[in-house]
Structure 1
Amino acid sequence: MSARPVIGVTGPDRGGLAAWWFSALAVRRAGGRPLRIRPSRPADVARLDGLILGGGADVSPRLYGQHKQPRPERMTDRGASGWRRLIGLVLFPLMAGLRRLLTTKRGGPDRARDELEYRLIGEAQEAGLPMLGICRGMQLINVALGGSLHQHLVGFYDEYPAIRSVLPRKRVVIEDGTRIARLLGAGDCWVNALHSQAIDKLAAGMTVGAVESNGIIQAMECADGPWLIGVQWHPEYLPQRRRQQALFRSLVEAARTIDRS
C-alpha cells in the first residue's frame, strides 16, 4: 500500500459537488487519497483501502421491506429562541443558498446509487475495509446489514426542536465506552443536521454510539470486526472542528493496516 491510502467517497451523479469537495479535503488532511465514486463512475473495491458513504437522497424503503409513506407536514425549528429567530430571518437568504449548495438531495430515491452503494458495502465488509457512513451513508449501512429506518421524523419533534442547519446547532450525547467516544470524547457534542430520516431498528452487530435527546440514534459503530462507524451528522462540513476531523484521521489510520495478502 502507498503512504496515502485510497479512500473511496460515494455520491450521486447529479449534485453532491460540495459534499465531494469537503469530504476530499477531510481525507487529504487525514493523510489519505480520495477517490470519487458515482453510479456513472463506479470503482472496484480492490482499488480501495477504505470507504466513505456520503449523504444524499433518502434510502429507498424497498430495501428494508416497506412501502413509501406519504411525507407529513414539514418539521419546523420551534425550539429556537427569539434572537435566534431574528438572526435566522436576517440570514435566511444566505443560509438557504448555502443549504442548496451543500445538499446532495435531488428529487426522490436514487435507485442506481442505492444499488451501487449496497454492493460496495457488502464487498467492503468481505474485504475487511474500514467504512464511515455519513447521514444517508449511515442509514444505508444499517439497512444493508439488516436494519430499518424511520421514513419520517415529524413525530419525534413534538417536544424537541427540529434543527436543520449546516452549523453545529444540534446537541447529541456520545455514549461512554464506545470507539466514537475515544475519538470525539464522551458526553455532549454539538453537530449539524440535514437529515429527514433516521435509524429505526439497529442492525445486528451494531451498537449505538450517540443519541439525540428524543432518542433518535445519531451515531452507530461495529464493536467487533473491521472499523465501521456511522454518524447522522455531516463532519465533512465542520472542518473547523478538530474533534470531527478525528473521524477521518481514524478511518485513514485503519485503512493503513489493511492486509491485502
Structure 2
Amino acid sequence: MSRRSSHTGRRPRIGVTTSAGCRGARLWPLHALALWRAGARPHRLTPTVSPSRVDRLDGLVIGGGDDIAAGVYGGDVRLDVRIDPARDRFELAALERAAVRGLPVLGICRGAQLLNISRGGTLHQDIHRAFADAPRHRTVLPRKQVTLATRGRLRRLLRRSSIRVNSLHHQAVDRLGTGLHVAARDRAGIVQAIEARGPRFLLGVQWHPELLFYQGRQVGLYHALTRAAARGRRRAAGAA
C-alpha cells in the first residue's frame, strides 16, 4: 500500500446528506473540501442510497436544503413551500442509525431542524409569523448577529460570546427535542443553534458554515466533528 493511500485510509469517514438533484450537488463540494482539509474522508449521501450506508461511517453531516414536510413533526400542511419527503425519510433513518452507533453529528440549517425533530422536537414553520422582529432579508454573507449560550460546546469551539453568520432560512426550531438545549439565538430570539447535553458531539447550526469557508472559526466546526469521529473510530478499533 502506498504512503498516500495508507494516510487516506486512516481518515475518519464522514457522510454528508444532500438532495439527489443538481441543487444538492452545489453545496456538496464545499462540505467535501472543508471535511478533507479537516482530516476526514467525505462521502455524499442522497435519498437514492440505503440509510444502512451510515453503518460504514464514523460521523455524519445533515446538510441544508428544502423545507421539512409538516407531517413529520405535526405542523400545518402548506402548499407554498418546496419539500422533499424522500429526503426527510432518508435523513431521519440515517439519524436513527447514527444514534444507535453513537456517531457525532453536525446539522446545518435544515439539518439542525431535522436533528431537533429526530428527538421529538417541533419547528416554527415560518419565523415571520412567529417572531415580529424576524429579519426579512436572506443573505449568504455573515450579517446576522447571534449570541452564544454561556455554557456549551459551541461557545467553547468558537471562543466568542457572539458571532456574525449568514441567514437563508424561514423555518426554525420551536420546541426542543429530548436532551437538546439552545446554544445560540439571534436578536429576535430565534434559535440559531442547538446541541446535546453530555459527551456526544451532536450540534446543529441554523446558518451555513460551508459558505463561510474563509472564516477559520466556521471551518473549525468541521474540524471538531472530524476530531470526534476520529476518537469514536479509535474507541471502536480498540473494542474490536
TM-score w.r.t. structure 1 length?
Answer: 0.82
**Residue 135 of structure 1 is aligned with which of 100, 109, 115?**
109
| Paired residue secondary structure (2:141) | strand
1:46 aligns with 2:20: no
Distance 2:34 2:221 in 1: 9
In the other structure, the counterpart of 1:35 is: 43
Counterparts in 2 of 1:66 and 1:224: CA distance versus 1, 3 Å = same
1:11 aligns with 2:18: yes
Counterparts in 2 of 1:150 and 1:124: CA distance versus 1, 3 Å = same
One-letter amino acid matched to 1:5: P
- Deviation at 1:69? 3.8
Answer with 62-71 or 207-216: which moved more: 62-71
One-letter amino acid matched to 1:149: L
Distance 1:39 1:155 in 2: 31
- Deviation at 1:160? 4.9
**Residue 220 of structure 1 is aligned with which of 194, 210, 217?**
194
Matched length: 226
For each residue in 1:196-219, what CA deviation from the matched residue of structure 2 results, as whole angstroms up to 9, or x when unmatched?
100010112001110011111000
Unaligned segments of structure 2, at least 5 residues: 1-7
- Which structure has more relative contact order (CA 8 Å, sep 6+)? It is 1
Distance 1:119 1:156 in 2: 29
Distance 2:41 2:50 in 1: 16
Unaligned segments of structure 1, at least 5 residues: 72-106
1:112 aligns with 2:86: yes
- Structure showing the higher helix proportion among its residues: 2
Identity %: 42
For each residue in 1:70-93, what CA deviation from the matched residue of structure 2 results, as whole angstroms up to 9, or x when unmatched?
65xxxxxxxxxxxxxxxxxxxxxx
> Counterparts in 2 of 1:1-261, with a 5 A limit?
2-14=9-21, 15-42=23-50, 44-69=53-78, 108-156=82-130, 158-258=132-232, 259-260=235-236, 261=240
For each residue in 1:114-161, what CA deviation from the matched residue of structure 2 results, as whole angstroms up to 9, or x when unmatched?
111000001101101000000000000100100000001113553353
Whether the 8 Å contact between 1:134 and 1:233 is mirrored in structure 2 is: yes
- Deviation at 1:16? 1.5
Whether the 8 Å contact between 1:176 and 1:186 is mirrored in structure 2 is: no
List structure 1 runs of 4+ shifted beyond 2 angstroms: 155-163
RMSD in angstroms over aligned alpha carbons? 1.6
